[in-house]
Amino acid sequence: MKKKYVEVWENCLNVIRDNIHSQSYKTWFEPIVPVKLDNNVLTIQVPSQFFYEWLEEHYIVLLRKTIKKELGPEGRLEYSIIMDSYNGPTGPLAINYPTSNQKASKNPYVSMPLDLNRGTSKDIPNPFIIPGLKKIKVESQLVESYSFDNFIEGECNRLARSAGYAVAENPGKTAFNPLLIFSPTGLGKTHLAHAIGLQVKINYPDKTVLYVQTEQFINQFIESARNGNQNDFVHFYQMIDVLIIDDIQFLAGKDKTQDIFFHVFNHLHQSGKQLVITSDKPPVELKGMEPRLLSRFKWGLSADLQMPDLDTRVAILRRKLYSDGITVPEEVIEYLANAITSSVREMEGALISLIAQSSLNKKSITMELARQMIDKFVKNTTKEISIDYIQKVVCDYFGLPVDQIHAKTRKREVVQARQVAMYFSKKHTKSSLATIGLQCGNKDHATVLHACKTIANLIDTDKQFRAYAHEIDKKIIQ
C-alpha cells in the first residue's frame, strides 16, 4: 500500500504539472522527495538551500494552493534540506562556513585530499588547499597533450568534438549541459574531455576547471566520510566552474557516492556551471545508477565516439609521430592503420611497440619489422574481458541459458555457475565486488566475496573441479 504522504505529494504534483512548464517541472519538482506527513504538515526533501529558496520565491503560491487543496485549510508544507546533513546540524550551505569545531578558524578554507595514486598515503601533498575565498586555486589535473589540436576530427567524433568545442567557448551557457561523451574503451573519451578543459583554461583563465576520474571521486568521498570532512568534499566540488568527470560507469552500485554526486550535480547545474561526463555506455544502458541521476544526464547532450575510419586513423598516427618528432615510412603508417581496427589506443600501442623495438634493436622501422610486430601484437591483444562475456562462457560450459544467472533461483547448478562467473569476473575484470554482484543476479558484495572464497576453496581441494575451472579459464582468455 502506498504511504499516505507519498499519495498526498503525488496528488500535489499532478496539479503542479498541469500548471507549469514541463522543463521547470523537471528541474524543480522531480527531484523532490516526500518524507512524512504529521498533523497536516507535509515534509518534502529538497536537494539544497538554493533549491528551497528558489521554490519559495517562484512557486510558493502554487504550492500553497495545492497543499491546502489536499490537506485542507490547516495544511502546511515543510522543507528538509538534504545538504544540511552534510553540513552538520547547524550549518547553512556556505563555502566560508567552518566545517567542524576543530576547523573553526579565522581563515576558513576548503580543502580536499586528492589521492592521485589511489592509495591512502599521507605523504602526497594536498593540491587543493584553498587559502582564501577570493584566491581559489585548484589544480585542474589536465594533461597538456590531450588538446583539441592533437585530437583529430573525423566523421567518428564530429558531434562530440564540436559540442565539446562549443562548451569550451561558453561553459555552462550552451544547451549541452551536461555534455555526456560515451564510447567503448580506447576511442578518445578521456582525450576529448581533457581537450575541453584545456580549451576552457585558454578561453577563460580565471575559471576553475577540474578533471577527475570517477574512481578518484569515489575514493575521495570514502576518505572524507572516514575523516568526517564530507563538508569539505561537497564544498570543494561545489565551487568548480567546469567539472569533468571521467568514466561515470564506475558509480554503478555506489549509492552513497551517487547521492553526493547528485547534489554536486544539482548545485553546479543550477548555478550555471558546466558538467562534462564520460561513460563507456549510453545513459540508458548504465546499470546500477539511480534513475534521478540518469534523468539528469539526459538534460544535456549525449554524444558518442566511434572507431575512426581509415583516413582518420592514418591522420591520428601521423599527428602522434609528428608530436613525438619521429619519422616512419608512409607505407608503415598505412599498414598499421589498416591492421588495427579495435581501438585507437591499441593502434597507438602498436606504434609505440614498433618504435621501441626499432630503437632497442637498433633497426630502422621497415615494413618487415612492422609485419613481424603486428603478427605478435594482434595475436596478443586480448579483447577486453567483460562480466557479460564471462557469464556467457560459464553458462555455455555448464549448458545453462545465460538468463538463469540473473534469475532468482537457488537451483544448485545455477548457484554454482553464478559463483564461478563471479569468481572469474573478479579474476579477469577490474570491476568491484559490488558491480560484479549487481551484474550477476543483483547480489551484494558480500555474496560475491563468499562466492570467490568458495570457488577458490574448491579449486584448492577438489581435483575434478580444478580441471573444470582450468578449462573455463582457458576459454575465457583465449
Give Cα 305 to chain centroid, integer Å. 16
Instruction: Please report how close the Cβ of residue 265 comes to ligand ADP at its closest, in angstroms.
Output: 21
Q: Is 94 exposed, middle or buried (0-12, 13-18, 19+ CB in 10 A)?
A: exposed
- Residue 373 interacts with ligand ADP (CB under 6 A): yes or no: no
Buried b (16+ CB within 10 A) or exposed e, 294-331: eebbebbbbbbbbbbeeebbbbbbeebeeeeeeebeee
- Residue 316 interacts with ligand ADP (CB under 6 A): yes or no: yes
Q: Which of Mg ion, ligand ADP, none lies near 348, with the C-beta cut-off 5 to 8 A by kind?
A: ligand ADP
Interface with ligand ADP (CB under 6 A), residue from 160, 164, 191, 438: 191
- Residue 81 interacts with ligand ADP (CB under 6 A): yes or no: no
CB-nearest residue to Mg ion: 190
- Residue 185 interacts with ligand ADP (CB under 6 A): yes or no: yes
Q: Which of ligand ADP, Mg ion, none lies near 67, with the C-beta cut-off 5 to 8 A by kind?
A: none
Reduced to 3 states (helix: H, G, I; strand: E, B; else coil), residue 141 is coil
Interface with ligand ADP (CB under 6 A), residue from 190, 213, 358, 416: 190
DSSP β-bridge partners for residue 80: 45
Closest CA to 34 of 11, 9, 59, 57: 9
Q: Which of residues 252-281 bind ligand ADP (CB under 6 A)?
A: none
Reduced to 3 states (helix: H, G, I; strand: E, B; else coil), residue 105 is coil
Q: Do 310 and 338 touch, CB atoms closer than 8 A?
A: yes
Buried b (16+ CB within 10 A) or exposed e, 382-417: eeebebebbbbbbbebbebeeebbeeeeeeeebbbb
Residue count, binding to ligand ADP (CB under 6 A): 17
- Residue 345 interacts with ligand ADP (CB under 6 A): yes or no: yes
CB-nearest residue to ligand ADP: 188
Span from 65-73, 341-349, 360-368, 392-400 in contact with ligand ADP (CB under 6 A): 341-349
Cell of 79: 522543507
What one-letter code names the amino acid at 366?
T
- Residue 190 interacts with Mg ion (CB under 5 A): yes or no: yes
Span from 189-197, 205-213, 306-314, 451-459 in contact with Mg ion (CB under 5 A): 189-197
Instruction: Please report how close the Cβ of residue 185 comes to ligand ADP at its closest, in angstroms.
Output: 4
Q: Do 50 and 238 touch, CB atoms closer than 8 A?
A: no
- Residue 244 interacts with ligand ADP (CB under 6 A): yes or no: no
Toward ligand ADP, which CB reaches closer, 129 or 352?
Answer: 352
Residues that bind Mg ion (CB under 5 A): 189-190
